[in-house]
């Protein structure tokens, strides 16, 4: 990827880049939509990700290129969201704006070339990977210092404020704090991060439904709003609750008659997800992979029923994977409304087993699910 980014930069700008940075995509292991509700989440950085090549310019222009896109040019002094085919640049542009607001001094513009080996639209957060790779490259280029947590917050601010996606810190936190063969556990209320070793002999398989999701234009923002509406109603009974994640299962059950039915289901998903994250953490400590898998399966079922962010294609993949005894558990990964399913498997699960699932999917829907066998890899860094 480093060579690929360098070649794209060289072909576009007829010069050599002075900084290269990489940031991985991520798997949401468990903790669906809990991040912006002040809850618990676990993810893993993957081996695949985004690499950017960058160098300073002699003027105050910005020029950005990606593999399949046209060159986009604008002024450093007129940063604004870009429409249509240029909308991919909103992630690096948003990061640029937040870095400037955070104190980074830029006496000139820059050229930026972006390459990726992440499957787009599969729910593996190519957006956060672009944000973090850009942040690391620009910080090195212009002499800005920040720790990992601050880089994660910079990426999230760019997505919240510039792109317009009301996400939490899961994607950027996992992309920053990723570690080979480890999960990243985040307490989103305190924004604390820690890594947990993956059990030996366990693997990640991603089944991309090829039903692309576009979260900015989808029901993601509706779920964000519904969660906050549910919290507002619950705060009438429990004013000490700062977020849905402060509500206990017992409190939610006691309040069921006071809540709108739809909002009760949304709150049930968040409260239940936090309990499932705790259950997974406890099960990993004692090596109970069956319990981990059961929590993953229950997470997907809650996504399907309570949060309604699954689709038939994702449900089918989960159902087919559940038939294989080498699969501990499976669930949608990411925001939902399309994208991919993650399967957590033993080492004995191989490509032939994955192909059985993909073939059944093709018989049902008329097209194959794309398969990716990946591993937990390192977080964002400068090359």
pLDDT, one tens digit per residue, over 25-72 is 999 999 999 999 999 999 999 999 999 999 999 999 999 999 988 999
Task: Of 37, 35, 21, 13, give the one whose Cα is nearest residue 225.
Answer: 37
Question: What does the pLDDT average to over 101-116?
Answer: 97
Mean pLDDT, the chain, as a whole number?
95
pLDDT-derived band of residue 287, with 50, 70 and 90 as boundaries? very high
pLDDT at 124: 81
pLDDT over 50 at 216, yes or no: no
- The proportion of the chain whose per-residue pLDDT surpasses 70, expressed as a percent, equals 98
pLDDT over 90 at 212, yes or no: no
Q: Which residues of 274-285 are buried (b: 16+ CB within 10 A; e: fewer)?
A: bbbbebbbebbe
Domains and CATH numbers, the chain: 2-197 (3.30.230.10), 202-374 (3.30.70.890)
Question: What does the pLDDT average to over 153-179?
Answer: 94
Beta bridge partners of 208: 340, 370
pLDDT over 70 at 73, yes or no: yes
pLDDT-derived band of residue 359, with 50, 70 and 90 as boundaries? very high
The residue to which tokens 């059990």 are assigned: 199
pLDDT at 219: 80
Q: What is the pLDDT of residues 317-354, one digit of tens each?
A: 999 999 999 999 999 998 888 889 999 999 999 999 99
| Among the ranges given (71-85, 108-122, 180-194, 317-331), the one the predictor scored with the smallest mean pLDDT | 108-122
Q: Where are the beta strands (DSSP E) in the chain?
A: 19-30, 40-56, 61-66, 72-75, 110-116, 182-187, 192-197, 202-208, 327-333, 340-346, 370-374, 381-382
DSSP structural state of residue 260? -
Active site residues: 171
CA dihedral 187, 191, 197, 198 (to 10 degrees): 60
DSSP structural state of residue 305? I
pLDDT at 169: 93
pLDDT at 168: 86
């Amino acid at each position: 990827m480093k060579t690929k980014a360098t070649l794209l930069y060289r072909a576009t700008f007829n010069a050599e880049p002075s900084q290269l940075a990489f940031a991985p995509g991520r798997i949401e292991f468990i903790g669906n939509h809990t991040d912006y509700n002040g809850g618990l989440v676990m993810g893993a950085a993957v081996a695949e990700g985004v690499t950017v090549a960058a160098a300073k310019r002699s003027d105050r222009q910005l020029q950005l290129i990606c593999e399949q896109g046209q060159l986009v040019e604008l002024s450093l002094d007129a940063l604004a969201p870009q429409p249509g085919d240029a909308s991919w640049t909103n992630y690096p542009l948003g990061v640029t704006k937040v870095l400037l607001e955070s104190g980074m001094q830029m006496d000139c513009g820059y050229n930026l070339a972006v390459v990726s080996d992440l499957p787009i639209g599969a729910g593996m957060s190519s957006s956060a990977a672009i944000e973090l790779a850009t942040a690391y490259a620009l910080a090195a280029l212009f002499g800005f210092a920040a720790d990992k947590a601050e880089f994660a917050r910079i990426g999230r601010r760019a997505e919240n404020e510039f792109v317009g996606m009301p996400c939490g810190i899961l994607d950027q936190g996992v992309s920053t704090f990723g570690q080979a063969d480890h999960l990243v556990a985040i307490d989103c209320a305190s924004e604390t991060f820690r890594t947990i070793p993956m059990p030996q002999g366990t693997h990640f398989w991603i089944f991309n439904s090829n039903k692309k999701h576009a979260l900015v234009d989808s029901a993601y923002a509706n779920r964000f709003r519904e969660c906050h509406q549910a919290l507002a109603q619950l705060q009438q009974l429990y004013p000490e609750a700062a977020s849905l994640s402060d509500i206990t299962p017992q409190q939610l059950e006691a309040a069921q008659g006071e809540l709108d039915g739809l909002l009760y289901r949304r709150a049930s998903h968040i409260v239940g997800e936090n309990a499932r994250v705790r259950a997974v953490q406890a099960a990993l400590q004692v090596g109970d992979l069956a319990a981990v898998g059961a929590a993953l399966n229950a997470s997907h079922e809650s996504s399907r029923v309570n949060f309604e962010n699954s689709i038939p294609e994702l449900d089918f993949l989960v159902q087919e994977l559940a038939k294989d005894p080498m699969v501990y558990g499976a669930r949608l990964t990411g925001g939902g409304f399309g994208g991919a399913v993650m399967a957590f498997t033993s080492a004995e699960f191989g490509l032939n087993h994955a192909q059985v699932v993909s073939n059944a999917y093709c018989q049902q829907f008329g097209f194959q699910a794309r398969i990716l066998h990946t591993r937990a890899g390192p977080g964002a860094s400068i090359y």
